[in-house]
Structure 1
Amino acid sequence: MDSKTKRSLTTAQLDALAIGALGAGVVTAEELPDGFANAVWRLGLDDESQVVLKVGPPPDLPLLTYERDLLRTEAMVYHLAQGTGLPMATLLHAGFDDPEIGGDWLILSALAGTPWNRAAPDPARDAALRREMGAHLATLHRIPGTGTFGYPYAGLTGATWREAFLKMVGAILDDAVKWETRLPATILDLVGAFHRNAAALDDVQAPTLVHFDVWPGNVFLNPDGTVEALIDHERAFWGDPLADFVTPTIFSDLTGDDPMLAGYQEGGGRAGFTPTSRVRFAMYQAYLYLILLVEDGPRQYPEADYARLRNGATEGLVRALGILTN
């Protein structure tokens, strides 16, 4: 989707980045339209390799508070996931605070498959994929943390999950005020809904690496319908593993017969399902829908493309608030 955060680079700039990082020049360059924040190109190099270049927003562009150093968060996930068996691209180079173009960028190995959201519907395959995705989430959630919750690069952290998550919520609500976002409830009502239910967050005692963006567009498929790779890890944080079931069920809900849950348990996952799980899940749904609504402020999506997303997020936020206020 078009976004103000996606910058343009010349062919000469793309060539210079590739040569400096990999020692090979650019022969072909295709800008990829998917994604919402970073500019992405698929590059064919003169050593006959194919790579993907991701370039972060201009460093002087105002963003949401949690979006500070997005590509550094992504690079962190790639480093932490090495050796775990998670299906991912390979991080080939990371450039931070680049003096030539400004900001951060990554070069990744190119994927050969198809995004799940572009594959033809196939109920049997999709059920198997959800089961496989559950197992991959279990692997991700076994990556050890450092003891701190939240977004380390954005400074939204805490010694407890309750402290960190309330900071994350406070930041997105501050952003909503800054960008004058239209919401289906007042800021005071939203603050109250989260804080009245905050004790449920105390069930989470150890920080887990949470992707928080595992929707079908971020899952690439092999020709046989299995998962080739999970992509776009920049929204990751340290928190409650239960939060990672929100984006795979976006605009709907998590049900007990979801194959993803079976795969998660088979993979050794423990998402902390307790009597407060429904409340915690609704809090994470509300947080995600707030992000989707507020991010239009700095990104300025084309209205024709964004209207459906806005409507879905608004309706989802209302449903989540219904659970939190009962």
Structure 2
Amino acid sequence: MAATAVPSPPSGPDDDAEEHANEADGIAVERLRHALGPVYGYPRPALGLSGPDWPSAFTAMLHAVLADAIRFEVTLPAPIDLLADLPARFGHRLAEVRRPALVHFDAWEGNLVLARTGHGEWRLSGLIDGERAFFGDPLAELVGLDPLGSAEDDPDLMAGYRSHAPGTVIDAGARVRLALYRVYLALVMRVESVPRAYGGEFAAWLDTWSAERVTRQLAVLDALEE
């Protein structure tokens, strides 16, 4: 993987920078969606996590996380068969995605690099930590922007996003897909905690939060099912 060095100030940004960070983040990730991949998912054939369409790729991605849960003996917050069936159950909504856009999927504010010249205006100079990036539904970026909440309900962030994507609509199909991606990300975070050997209060918090997050999103999916 090749990456570009991104300059950053020696100390954290001030309140003025924080005020504009969300809008700048929305603009930056919206621009990513114009980069298209050769396939959907993770573009390394050997991994088996890609496909010719988004439903098949997302199915492979979710099933891989569930396989890792078995491998690392992670207790899941819902029956594994129920979780594994989600892509088939909502395949018609996943099929609404017609182009494999680049999705960073971890572009929360901690992965923003802000910079300025002298005492000028802060600007977004880069995004870091692209290990979760894939090609798929650009709407999934909203989940990575606010992993713990709902980015689509943040007016500042959505103002930046919609300034470059004015046609973005959060309809029933979009809400189904957002719920699916929130289940996926919560499971990724829950499962990776074992090989990463998290411990202490953070591990306990993550265990509780991820279980609640998955349970809540499954309820959202039940309510939206046609």
Please state which band the TM-score falls in when normalised by the shorter chain. Answer: 0.7 to 0.9
TM-score by length of 2: 0.85
Q: Which residue pairs with 1:151 in the alignment?
A: 42
Shift of 1:306: 2.4
1:99-120 alpha-carbon deviations (Å, 9 max, x no partner) = xxxxxxxxxx3632379xx667
CA gap 1:304/1:256 in 2 versus in 1, 3 angstroms: closer
Of residues 52, 66, 69, the one that matches 1:173 is 66
Paired residues, what number? 217
AA aligned to 1:143 is: A
AA aligned to 2:61 is: M
1:184-218 alpha-carbon deviations (Å, 9 max, x no partner) = 11101212334312210011011000001112221
Could you tell me how far apart the structure 2 residues matched to 1:310 and 1:222 are? 35
1:141-164 alpha-carbon deviations (Å, 9 max, x no partner) = 111322x10011233111110010
Greater gyration radius: 1
Could you tell me how far apart the structure 2 residues matched to 1:294 and 1:213 are? 16
Structure 2 alignment gaps of length 5 or more:
none
AA aligned to 1:292 is: M
Of residues 114, 133, 152, the one that matches 2:25 is 133
Aligned ranges for residues 214-293 of structure 1 at < 5 Å? Answer: 214-222=107-115, 224-268=121-165, 273-293=170-190
Could you tell me how far apart the structure 1 residues matched to 2:126 and 2:115 are? 9
Q: Which residue pairs with 2:98 in the alignment?
A: 205
Could you tell me how far apart the structure 2 residues matched to 1:216 and 1:172 are? 25
Q: Which residue pairs with 1:324 in the alignment?
A: 221
1:233-288 alpha-carbon deviations (Å, 9 max, x no partner) = 12110000000010222211134452222211212476564430000000000000
Contact conserved, 1:246 with 1:285, CA < 8 A, in 2?
yes
Could you tell me how far apart the structure 1 residues matched to 2:103 and 2:140 are? 7
Identity of aligned pairs, percent?
A: 35
SS of equivalent residue, structure 1 residue 299: coil
Contact conserved, 1:203 with 1:272, CA < 8 A, in 2?
no
Could you tell me how far apart the structure 2 residues matched to 1:271 and 1:238 are? 18
Would you say 1:296 and 2:193 are equivalent positions? yes
TM-score by length of 1: 0.61
Aligned ranges for residues 21-60 of structure 1 at < 5 Å? Answer: none
SS of equivalent residue, structure 2 residue 189: helix
Could you tell me how far apart the structure 1 residues matched to 2:130 and 2:151 are? 22
Give the root-mean-square deviation of aligned CA atoms.
Answer: 2.4
Q: Which residue pairs with 1:142 in the alignment?
A: 34
Contact conserved, 1:113 with 1:228, CA < 8 A, in 2?
no
AA aligned to 2:25 is: M
Q: Which residue pairs with 2:7 in the alignment?
A: 111
The structure in which a higher percent of residues are helix is: 2
Could you tell me how far apart the structure 1 residues matched to 2:200 and 2:152 are? 32
Structure 1 alignment gaps of length 5 or more:
1-71, 79-89, 91-108
Higher relative contact order (CA 8 A, sep 6+): 2
